[in-house]
Structure 1
């Protein structure tokens, strides 16, 4: 029978691990408690965080007990890891608000697991206790050798506030070891230094060995950070990243990236993934692997009903039946196309004015030329007559004109 470690290896989910031999042995012999931490510095987790949550879920599926720490305390300080400059300090009220939202996202995937807030114990430590009980176990020379600190010291510098962050995270691991006999911390590759601090602190105080494991940085073959777009991160919260946008981001990943992403982001078996890979590369244009990836991950994050809805939107757009879109789905379906708001000064507007005012074309003569070439459709209907007029009643829901120019360029015009 396959072990959790073998599963992680197949999925290429191990970047660094402490004492691999001993950890493998422990995972084969017993069920352990492990944890990952998330600072509530934003109102939602993103795709990079999702990889950590799904890895906790993998351990859970193998019978281990995952815990989560939400950094209500550490978020007040700010983690310097992976940051080129000092973070802006967050307000306690905002952190509390973010904490509630993030907890819901985590529980929607992991179920009713224990979620700790490190404010609970960090807020109880006074300055003398911090220095005497914890600070004495940390050598400054070792702290400044950590990659995140070295990077900042060589550029913008680092405040004592952020410099102390690694001690606070180490205390988290210590507290969970004492409360829950937690023996493993997992996190992103940028958390290696912080994780090692926790392992060392437990060893110095309790003379016990615990373990750390980091996941690889999510990069595409082209070197770009997976889960990021020009407009920012792909969030799990539907109000920050629309479900259709989330689905489309995954559907549009490159062929050279998709199989690895299926391994890391889905619970498909090794056999299933290898079969999908074989079928996909028989005819990559069909985008079989991308479709499976988009379906599986959208269902994990947004649920089966939402997956059906976004697939329906996708089908409507593919076949051009735009009038089947619901009013609230129109902006979602065309989230990434040029959009313009116009007002109807008269009761009617000519198609030439509609195209020019909607910035579909620079001039009426260009609009006329496109219509003659059958290169314009409005709300799914090809325009054959350049004298055609539209009223508000012709707009979808009295508000939207969806223009298609050529074979694939869409524009959204909204009537004010």
Structure 2
């Protein structure tokens, strides 16, 4: 595919670039090697990283060769943030995170064939540097005036201040580009737009050493109202690690995308053809209640990150919780995750249905719960309840532990037996 630059532009995935025309010609060259980096600053990547991960996948599918860098060295330092100095993590912890992040990244690009990806760690060339080598051979090429002009540095200097350690981060990242050019012939770097200062520092350093290189950034993803992307309703980050964010919660995050956001998210994250994405955008405008675009996005990304089996379980759970499927076909982990998202009430023994509906928050009082039952709007495991003051039969428990409570068609909560 030689029109990768136009495709990235249509998707809105190029925010800044060193030279748009030259970048377009470079990306059209089938011999190009590019790199994108991820610092080992935690035990998992989150969905904010997906823009870079999936852009790397697009570039490889267009014929370019990826270098996927996980920063074991820069992860020990930490990119400066607005609020102050980062906590420095022990080297052995960071080394463990490098391995975890590398394993998370592996499924997204191919490590076989002519355009095989290569996993790299900047600790391999940074760890052996002496302080004198760093200052003489690398630091000499970085004007302090330019480093001070970086926006995050200005912010920190006007507030809490910044250590020499974090101030030097951009030098380390810039040296990564030079080393990858020297070792692998890498001529293109990209990253999030918040990395533009670091990226251009790398471009300048490479060019000072005689290398002709290009770079671009992808936009930071936000919601249509400008609020932060990648957080659930309760403020929790959405992680790629299924032990930190369940596949069900991952699916629901995308399914709950706003109508004003979902078209943009499809362009950023989906590998569907342009015509299909435009049809889904049209469907959202014409029939928003059907949520066709949200469903397509959630299914595609959950499959990509967690696999077909987990996606099948998640979609089955989404149907079954609202009476459109068989709850008994769901595995325990999916039931637990789904009900935890809905709100899970733990009880040592089963009280009356009315009590469960009140304590779970589906009804404000026992009298309201009894009224819901009397009106035929209360369900336990999708079976209509007729006796508000009787406890549910233990035979109804899913996996001997769970109950699904539903009021009306759309309001659900869960119960978990703790004994």
TM-score interval, normalised by the smaller of the two chains: over 0.9
- TM-score of the superposition, structure 1-length normalised? 0.93
Shift, 1:74, TM fit: 0.7
Among candidates 313, 316, 322, match of residue 309 of structure 1: 313
5 Å-filtered alignment, 1:236-315, equals 236-315=240-319
Moved more, 354-363 or 283-292: 354-363
The reply on whether 1:139 has 2:143 as its aligned counterpart is: yes
Offset from partner CA, 1:224-282 (integer Å, 9 cap, x none):
22222233221111111111111111111112211221111112222222233334433
Distance verdict in 2 for CA 1:343–1:27, change over 3 Å: closer
Among candidates 369, 377, 380, match of residue 379 of structure 2: 377
In structure 2, C-alpha distance between the alignment counterparts of 1:399 and 1:128, rounded to whole Å: 63
The reply on whether 1:223 has 2:226 as its aligned counterpart is: yes
Moved more, 273-282 or 248-257: 273-282
Shift, 1:364, TM fit: 3.0
Moved more, 379-388 or 286-295: 379-388
Equivalent in the alignment of 1:111: 110
Three-state SS of the structure 2 residue aligned to 1:31 is coil
Shift, 1:357, TM fit: 5.0
Shift, 1:368, TM fit: 2.3
Check whether the contact 2:317–2:327 (CA below 8 A) recurs between aligned residues.
no
Distance verdict in 2 for CA 1:342–1:124, change over 3 Å: same
Three-state SS of the structure 2 residue aligned to 1:319 is coil
5 Å-filtered alignment, 1:39-50, equals 39-50=39-50
Shift, 1:358, TM fit: 4.7
In structure 1, C-alpha distance between the alignment counterparts of 2:84 and 2:281, rounded to whole Å: 41
Distance verdict in 2 for CA 1:276–1:392, change over 3 Å: closer
Equivalent in the alignment of 1:91: 90
- TM-score of the superposition, structure 2-length normalised? 0.92
Moved more, 171-180 or 147-156: 147-156
Check whether the contact 2:303–2:311 (CA below 8 A) recurs between aligned residues.
yes
Shift, 1:165, TM fit: 0.5
Shift, 1:2, TM fit: 5.0
Equivalent in the alignment of 1:67: 67
Offset from partner CA, 1:131-160 (integer Å, 9 cap, x none):
111111111111111012112112221111
Moved more, 278-287 or 139-148: 278-287
Check whether the contact 1:340–1:359 (CA below 8 A) recurs between aligned residues.
no
Distance verdict in 2 for CA 1:251–1:360, change over 3 Å: closer
Moved more, 370-379 or 256-265: 370-379
Check whether the contact 1:78–1:162 (CA below 8 A) recurs between aligned residues.
yes
Check whether the contact 1:298–1:307 (CA below 8 A) recurs between aligned residues.
yes
The reply on whether 1:325 has 2:324 as its aligned counterpart is: no
Shift, 1:362, TM fit: 5.1
Check whether the contact 1:250–1:290 (CA below 8 A) recurs between aligned residues.
yes
Three-state SS of the structure 2 residue aligned to 1:228 is coil
Among candidates 125, 131, 136, match of residue 127 of structure 1: 131
Q: How many residues matched?
A: 411
In structure 2, C-alpha distance between the alignment counterparts of 1:390 and 1:297, rounded to whole Å: 37
The reply on whether 1:207 has 2:210 as its aligned counterpart is: yes
In structure 2, C-alpha distance between the alignment counterparts of 1:117 and 1:354, rounded to whole Å: 53
In structure 1, C-alpha distance between the alignment counterparts of 2:394 and 2:249, rounded to whole Å: 28
The reply on whether 1:336 has 2:359 as its aligned counterpart is: no
Distance verdict in 2 for CA 1:271–1:146, change over 3 Å: same
Equivalent in the alignment of 2:114: none
Three-state SS of the structure 1 residue aligned to 2:351 is strand
In structure 1, C-alpha distance between the alignment counterparts of 2:86 and 2:170, rounded to whole Å: 15
Equivalent in the alignment of 1:53: 53
In structure 2, C-alpha distance between the alignment counterparts of 1:359 and 1:256, rounded to whole Å: 30
- Ranges in structure 2 where 5+ consecutive residues have no aligned partner: 112-116
Equivalent in the alignment of 2:15: 15
Equivalent in the alignment of 1:77: 77
Moved more, 125-134 or 332-341: 332-341
Check whether the contact 2:30–2:63 (CA below 8 A) recurs between aligned residues.
no
Check whether the contact 1:349–1:391 (CA below 8 A) recurs between aligned residues.
no
Three-state SS of the structure 2 residue aligned to 1:377 is strand
Distance verdict in 2 for CA 1:365–1:317, change over 3 Å: closer
Shift, 1:30, TM fit: 4.6
Moved more, 48-57 or 334-343: 334-343
In structure 1, C-alpha distance between the alignment counterparts of 2:416 and 2:301, rounded to whole Å: 32
Shift, 1:123, TM fit: 0.8
